[in-house]
Structures are given as C-alpha cells and as structure tokens.
Amino acid sequence: MQTRSRNQISEQQSESRQAPIFINDHVDNLSCPGSHVSSSKSSLSRVTSAKSSLLRAQLKEKQLRQELELEKKLLKARHDVEMAELHVKLAADDERNKQEYERASVIDNREQLERYVKDCAAMVGGDAPVTVGKSAVVEKLDMPKVEMSYFDGNGADYLRFTKEFEYYVENRVKDPGQRMLYLLHYCKGRAKAAIQECVILRPESAYARAKGILQDLFGEIHVIARNRIEDMIRSLRPVAEDGESLSRLSIQLQNCLIALTEMNYLSDLNSVTTLERIVRILPIAVRRNWARLADARNQEGQEPSFQDLCQFVSTEARVARSRYGRLVSEGFNRPNAQVSPNRQGRHGGTSFAIQGERTPAPKRLCILCRSDHATASCQKFVGLDVRDRWSCVRRHRACFLCLEVGHRIDHCVSGIKCSKVHCSGKHHPLLHVEPVVNQVAEQGTCAATMHYGTAVMLGVIPVKVRARGKETDTYAFLDNGSDVTLVTKDLLSSLGLEGTPSSITLTTINGASQVQGNMCELEVASMDENEVIRLDRVFALPSLPVNAPSLSVSQEARRWPHLQELPFRELDDKRVTMLIGCDVPEAHWVLDQRLGSRKQPYAIKTLLGWVLLGPLHGNTERGTVNYARISEDSIKDDIRSLREAELKDTEEIERSFSIEDRKASELVTQSTVLEKEHYIIPLPWKDPTKVTDNNYVVAINPLLNLKQRLSCDKNLLARYVDGVNTMLKNGYALPVPPEQLAANYRSSWYLPHHPVMKPKKPDKLRLVIDCAGNFRGYSLNDKLYQGPDTIAELVGALLRFRESLLV
C-alpha cells in the first residue's frame, strides 16, 4: 500500500509539472513544432510505468491479505492450545490449593487452640508453656470422614442419634441456625415432617423448638426403655453351644445394658421374669453353670442381676471361642456315628438322605356318621335310598360330585363324573337316578371299596411340651416341607393355654385356605430332657392332618439289624398333636444316622431323639367296604327324585357379616336416636376409651400451609369461608369452645381440612376432612369400625324391577 501511494504521488507530481509544459508547448507551438512529439512519447512511457506499478502493488496487496488470513488461523489454533493447557494447569492447581487450604485450616485451628489453651492457662494462673504436638494435627488429616446416621422417627434410635448429633454437630457448630439446618438434614420420614416448619422461626428459637418436638414425640425415656426390653426379648432365639452364637447373644445383651444404664432403667432388666426368659434359651451345660453362679450369689445374700448375666454370657462366649472351646463345639457338630456293618471300610462323614415324601391327604370326615372315612365309602350312606342320599347331601350342603363339604359343584376340582351309561348329569354315581319307566322295576345296588397301602414311617417322635409350669407328653411330626409350626387346640387346653386369636393361610395340594386359630409360645424337650427347644410362634388348629403311628416303632426297628440297638420311645396316646416346621431349624438337625440298604427304613438322631423313617416291608394295610342291596322303586319315587334334583340349586344363599361388621351393626342399632326429625348416629368406636393422644403437633402444619395458601388467593379464601359457614349453619360442625383451644388440652384429635376443586367443575368447592392422617402409628379411621356394605346390589334391583305392578 505504501508503494502504491508513492507511485500515485510521483504520478501526480509528474502531471503537475507537465501541465505548464503543455501550455508552453501550446503557446510555443507557433515557433517550435518538433517539441510536441517528444513530449507525447515521454507521457506515454510514464503512464505505462505507473500502470505496471499499480498492478504490482495490487498483487502485493493480495499476497499480504492471504498471509494475514493464514496468520489469523495460526493464532486461533495457538490460542486453543494455550487454553487447553491452561485448563489442565488450573485443575492441577485447584487440587494442590485444596490440599494446601485444608492443611492451612488445620494449622489455623491448631494456632487457635494454642491461643485458647494459653488464655485458659493465664486465667488459672499457670505460667508453664503450652505446646500442642504437631503429630496430632498430621494424624487428623489422615482420619476418615465421619458419616452420621439418619433419624427416621424410630424411638429405639433416638438416644443414639442425639448423642451422635451432639458429638458431631453441636460441638463444632455454635450458630443455632446452622444447627437447625443440620438437624433437619439428618432427619427423615416422620421426624423430618415434624420439624420441617421450624425453619421459618427465628434461629434462636427454631433449634430449641425442633429439639423439643423430637423429644416430645420420640424421646420419652420410659417408652424407649420398655420398647428396648421388649425388642430384646422378642428377638431371643435358642442358642447353640458354640462361640459364634454365644458371642452374638453377648453383644445383644451388652448393647441393651449400655442403653438402659444410660437411661437409669436397670430395675426392669433385673426382674426375675426377664432373667428367666434369657436363661431358657441358653444350652443345657451353660444353664447349669449359671445355676451355680446364681446359687453362689444367693449364698452371699444377693440376687443375681442382669449385669451378672451379661458378664456370665460374655465369659462363656470367650471360653467357647478359645482353642479348647472349639474342640467341644467340633465334637458336638461332628459326632462319631456308628456305621452299619455293610458300610464298613468307607470314609467317615455325614450323609444326608433325600426322600420324596408323600404328603398325607387332609382327613376326610363322612358327612353322615362323622367317621374318619370318605362319604362314598360309608356303609350307612351307601345303604340309603337314592332320594335319601340326595336329602343327606343337601342337608349338609355338600358337593354333589365329591360328596365333601366346603364348596359347591361349580368350584369342585375332583373331576368325578357319573359312570352310568348315557348319563351326562353332574353328580356322584351314588346320586344317579335311573330313567323313568312305566313299571315297577327291580333295582340292584352293589358297591365295594378296597384300599391297599404299604405302611410308611414318617418323622414322628415322642416329646415333652411345656408351658406355664405344666408339661405333657405327645407325638410331634418333624415336617421339613412346612414353614410353620402347628399344634392342636386340645394340646393347648391340656397346658392351660388359650393363645392370641390370629389367622393363617394354609397351602396344600388342594389349594390355599384361610384358617382361624390361636398363636402362642411353647417349649419342647426330648424325653430324657437333655435338650430343650423354644417355639416362639406356634399356631393352634382344631386338628392336624397327620396320621398316628399304627405300628410299634420299637418292634419294627428290631426287625432290621442296623436299627436294633437304637432306643426308640413310645407313648400310650398315639395321637400326633404337634407339627414342627422348618421355622425351627434346630429341631431338624441331623446329629447321627443309621442307614441300611436301598428300600429299607433308616433312622436319624435329632436334638429331640431318634426318628424312624421309610417303608416297612411286609406290612400292608388293607381296608374294604362292601354293600349289596336290592330294592323296588316305583315311578312316583323316581319322579319325586328328579323334581328334587332339578331344584337343587335354588336355595337362597344367606349373607353373613364378619365379627367387626356385626359389632358395628349392633353399636349403630343400639345407639341411634331420633331428635327433631333427624337421626343421630354416634361413631362406632372400637375402643370405648376412644383417642388417648393429642395430635396437635402434627395437625398444626397443614393448618399453617392452608393459611398461607388462602392468604395468596382472595377468591379461594372467600369461597372457603362460605363453605365453613355453611357447615356451621347446617349443624354439620360446631365451634370449639375457647377453653379447648389450648394445644395441651387433654386428649383431642384435630382433623386437618383442605379445599378440593375438580377441573370439570371449577366453580364448585368441596371441603375435605382428612380422617386418615397418621399420628403415632394410627389414624382416626383405625379407631372406628368400617361397618358392613349396605348398598344394594345392581342385580337384585334389576330382578325386583318387575316384581310389582306399575301404578
């Protein structure tokens, strides 16, 4: 560009010089004609030179422009590289600065600590130099971060949570607002819902108010102590004589001792009942040692305490964990099994036999004589006339296919069909009615039932059952295919127990059914009383579907060489009144066994004694029922039988109420009154004491939220006020007296309410009263009977629509 400018300037100068010459030439042309030609050639050469200079300048300019574009691209690329390197360097510097900042903060804390200690020493008059070791600061840097546990409202964790919060937060944070935020952060569930509105208060009162709410809801010491003791007793299980089991029990007892010592509630733990409950789960040998220790305490004039029991269990656990204690447990877990002669020479060890077990069918009772056999095999039932059989089946509401009660023909799964020729009716062959003929026919009936079966010994063993100081002997069935332990109600009656009413779902090959019974706790011991097993959850039924041993176990065992030396015990009462499932695993432990050849019975040793299992060859049970009868049936009898058969399903099904529905109906019927043309029906309370808690602390939060919502929407506020006034005007609600408005006014249950509007009906406002709000584990609805469903069925309304004439 500079070159071009210079060329233009020189060109202008040359032209400026040329102008006067041209004039002079023009003037002098009159006297010098040859000077004009020489001047024209000189001008042409100068123009050509200027044009060439211009072209060169333009080319130079284009080249420079290209070089500038390349330099811009290069600079941009270098800038990107420098930015990337800068990011990498900054990341490394941040990590290094973070470490230096943490180290510097610790050093600052150390300096503050030194100044604080010096000030304290000066205040007490000490003049000795104070030093703080640097190793402690360095060690603090390497300590892992403490993770606090969260509090969800479980009262058993309240004391532990408060101590952790005091150690971790209160000792570090002095600002009450920050403490409130930390407290809200480490609470969840019910606990967080109870204190989350406290953040809107002033910091000075928010933290104290939140702690007071938590203390009032979850921190009652006597409730926590009682629940802690009940949880410990509820979790007790029989303990084996090994170090691991005793150590777990020792830890459990020590934790309970520490917690209740802190709460000053050791007196409840020192009760004789609590100590006996714990001692009963200990092994026999450990119980003997405790009896000696307790006797020594009594001789000294002192009663054994819970702390003595904790120390005793801890000592026994330490002994069991020792080298020689492990030898004892190994000897218990791996007894020296006596091998049968036909198994000598093989390697020792424990083998487990897996047997396909035939599940015994449920006991079938005859609907006519109530004996233990099927109705179709009953001689009395077969001896009845066909119409009498029909009457008997209808009277007992039995199924027409399988002749069993409990279901109807539509739900029968037996698959039985009438075997008579050309008969497609749905009934049992014994209920078949012959076709009508116009003559008196001689009818012959013959029925025969025969059953063959090989006697099979199940896991039935005699035991001693104890409860409340009483004891009885009975047979127990060790059922490894059951997950629940069952007994008969007769067994509970003999022990003087009733149990807690409960229900259970029993699932068999015939389906599932809901059964009502009683739940209780028992102890079962071997006949020699060397081992005791505690049964924490036992369900009582009217009867058990287990057949008693029909043969003498000891006599059958003498027939087999490998079973002759085993001590099998027998009882006079052969009934099986207990079924022990796999929820009591120690009852199914195989401590020893005697095996024979294939297809031979075998025996196993459990904690309760020896059990004989397997088929007993040569003992075949056979039962036969025969009946033959000849009768004469007229055509009138057949017509009557057919008429009854056609009308068999027209019986009215009565509607039944549950126990709670019946109680609710009785309460409403007895307490409903008519006043001023209005019926007044009181609430059907389950408990006459009604509600004993005050849910003010929970109900106030929804009220404050409703207040804030209504204050932001004036239209909604006006409509809501109209709705409340309408309820008061119609008598649906009553104003609360002023003296009952206090938060601590005896037992009051506050009902939260809120507005509800449907999108399709925006102009209609409905006030909803929330009776399902929970407080301390229950709501107002939980305290009331639901009552029966009194709404008429649509089918009945349609069927009765044409019952009467229209007017």
603 and 731 in a single domain? The answer is no
pLDDT surpassing 80 at residue 1: no
Residue 354 lies in a domain: no
297 and 393 in a single domain? The answer is no
Going from the C-alpha of 431 to that of each of 439, 447, 682, 800, 802, the distances in angstroms are 21, 13, 54, 35, 37
Please say which residue of 333, 348, 368 terminates a domain. 333
pLDDT surpassing 70 at residue 125: no
Give residue for tokens 């036909």: 342
CB < 8 Å & 24+ apart, contacts of 53-60: 53/3, 53/4, 53/7, 54/4, 54/7, 56/3, 57/1, 57/3, 57/4, 57/7, 58/4, 60/3
| 308 alpha carbon, distance to own chain's centre | 36
β partners of residue 614? 457
- CATH number (domain holding residue 488): 2.40.70.10
Please say which residue of 333, 368, 397 terminates a domain. 333
Instruction: Look up residue 619 and give its two tokens.
Output: 């003992």
Q: What is the pLDDT of residue 391?
A: 85
Residue 633 lies in a domain: no
253 and 329 in a single domain? The answer is yes
Residue 437 lies in a domain: no
pLDDT surpassing 70 at residue 465: yes
Query: In the structure, what pLDDT confidence band is assigned to residue 801 with cuts at 50, 70 and 90?
Result: low
Please say which residue of 623, 649, 675 terminates a domain. 623
390 and 410 in a single domain? The answer is yes
pLDDT surpassing 70 at residue 356: no
Radius of gyration over alpha carbons of the chain, in Å? 49
Region of poorest pLDDT, from 86-100, 245-259, 450-464, 631-645: 631-645
- Other Cβ atoms closer than 10 A to 89: 10
- pLDDT, one tens digit per residue, over 777-799 is 778 888 888 888 777 777 777 77
Task: Report the alpha-carbon distance of residue 771 to residue 505 in Å, rounded.
Answer: 31
Tell me phi and psi for residue 275, to 5 degrees: -65, -40
671 and 722 in a single domain? The answer is yes
Residue 59 lies in a domain: yes
Q: What is the pLDDT of residue 368?
A: 81
pLDDT, greater one: 451 or 367:
367
Q: Contact, 1 vs 61, CB < 8 A? A: yes
Mean pLDDT comparison of 30-39, 386-395, 681-690, highest-scoring range? 386-395
Residue 362 lies in a domain: no
The mean per-residue pLDDT over the stretch 286-299 comes to: 87
Domain count of the fold of the chain: 6
495 and 606 in a single domain? The answer is yes
Give residue for tokens 């010096």: 118
- pLDDT, one tens digit per residue, over 392-449 is 888 888 888 888 887 777 777 776 777 676 677 778 888 877 764 444 444 444 444 4
pLDDT, greater one: 745 or 249:
249
Residue 647 lies in a domain: no
Q: What is the pLDDT of residue 631?
A: 45
> 797: helix, coil or strand?
helix
Decide the pairing of beta strands 485-488 and 753-758.
Answer: unpaired
Q: What is the pLDDT of residue 137?
A: 45
Domain residues for the domain of 261 are 223-333
239 and 327 in a single domain? The answer is yes
Residue 640 lies in a domain: no
189 and 233 in a single domain? The answer is no
305 and 396 in a single domain? The answer is no
Q: What is the pLDDT of residue 211?
A: 86
393 and 516 in a single domain? The answer is no
Mean pLDDT for the chain overall: 74
Q: Contact, 470 vs 526, CB < 8 A? A: no
Q: What is the pLDDT of residue 549?
A: 65
Please work out, in degrees rounded to the nearest 5, the angle formed at the alpha carbon of residue 220 by the alpha carbons of 214 and 225.
130
Tell me phi and psi for residue 752, to 5 degrees: -65, 150
Residue 355 lies in a domain: no
554 and 606 in a single domain? The answer is yes
467 and 549 in a single domain? The answer is yes
